[in-house]
Amino acid sequence: MTGDYRGAAQAQEKALGIYRDIGDRLGQANALNNLGDVRQMTGDYRGAAQALEQALGIYRDVGDQWGQAFALNNLGTVWRMTGDYRAAAQAQDRALAISRQTGDRGCEAEILNETGALHRARGNPGRAAEYHRQALNLSRQIASPRDQARALAGLGRCALTLGRTSDAIEALRQARDIFQQIGAGEAADVTAELGSLTGREQQHDG
């Protein structure tokens, strides 16, 4: 989450090897799920999908619903990034249902944010904002700063799409501050977005 994707991938690959050596299938699934998440962040969508589909298969075999929800959500992200919105929506709907059945509120907040990102990508920022607001409320209840920052960033991007630049700047500033406080690599992207927006506003004012 700090942005050291190479180090993260190496750690997960090493963990995967150890879990295979000792025959720990749930450990293998967790490592594959995390590895898929890292690969998605670096743009290796094919490699990400392969790892996540393997993880999902193992989670189903061992009956781990929590793992299924996370793997489905991560697959949804990969499919969103590659433009397969229908598959992404199906994966996220299933993930959200599982997270609510199991009562995993942290997982639910993460899925709500990703569902918001999907709706924004599909050209529906109003619907996207609804999901980000749900994620924001839930993340505040469970004191999850990362999910809170992601919700705020999502709301800021929705506001920008809807032409509400001042609202977008305020939400993105709040997101940036939280990302910086927890040392998340996402702080850099949000800072860049803010720089572009504030520069645009200054040109407009001038």
In CATH terms, the fold of domain 104-196 is: 1.25.40
Q: What pLDDT digit, counting tens, does each position of 125-138 carry?
A: 999 999 999 999 99
Contact 132, 148 (CB under 8 A): no
Q: Which phi and psi angles does 64 have, rounded to 5°?
A: -95, 100
pTM: 0.89
Show the tokens assigned to 37.
């998440």
Q: How far is it, in rounded angstroms, from Cα 81 to Cα 127?
A: 19
Span 64-69, average pLDDT = 95
What's the pLDDT at 126? Answer: 97
| Per-chain mean pLDDT for the chain | 94
Would you list the domain boundaries of the chain? Answer: 1-91, 104-196
Q: How far is it, in rounded angstroms, from Cα 84 to Cα 107?
A: 22
Q: Which phi and psi angles does 185 have, rounded to 5°?
A: -65, -20
- Amino acid in the structure at residue 150: R
Look at the alpha carbons of 73, 79, 82, 85 in this order and tell me if their dihedral is positive or negative. Answer: negative
Q: Do 1-91 and 104-196 come out as alike in CATH topology?
A: yes
Instruction: Say yes or no to pLDDT of 206 above 70.
Output: no
What's the pLDDT at 200? Answer: 62
What's the pLDDT at 3? Answer: 86
Instruction: Say yes or no to pLDDT of 204 above 60.
Output: no
CATH class of 1-91: mainly alpha
Q: What pLDDT digit, counting tens, does each position of 10-48 carry?
A: 999 999 999 999 999 999 999 999 999 999 999 999 999
